[in-house]
Amino acid sequence: KTANIVLNVSFGIVEGIAVDTHVNRIAHRLALSPKTHEKEPLKTEQDLLKLLPREYWRDVNHQWIRFGREVCSAKAPRCAECPMADICPSVGKC
C-alpha cells in the first residue's frame, strides 16, 4: 500500500491501487471483491486491478478515502445520500 502511494504521489508512477481500510470497505460493499478477500488487502487490490481500467488506478485511493469518510463510513454509512445507492448491493444493510 505504502509503495503504491509513494510511487503514485511522489513520482507519478502508477503500478497498482493502494488498498487501505476505506478502499477495502468500499470494494466489498460494492461487491467488487469477494467476501473471502475482505481481510486480505492484496487480494482485494488484485480484484480491483482486474476490474478497473488502468487510467482510474491513480485516483482510486484518494477518491475512495474521501468517499469512505464522507458518505460510506464504517459505522454510519449515509446510504440515503449516496450517489451509488441505486447500484450498491449493500445499501441499507450496513
Domain 2-81 has what CATH class? mainly alpha
The burial of 3, by beta-carbon neighbours within 10 Å (0-12 exposed, 13-18 middle, 19 or more buried), is given as exposed
Residue 22 CA: distances (Å) to CA of 11, 27, 61, 68, 71:
23, 8, 8, 5, 11
Is there a contact between 38 and 59 (Cβ–Cβ < 8 Å)?
Answer: no
* Domain ranges, ordered by start, for the chain: 2-81
pLDDT tens string, the chain, 94 residues long: the values are 778 777 777 778 788 999 999 999 999 999 999 999 999 999 999 999 999 999 999 899 899 999 999 999 999 999 999 999 999 999 999 8
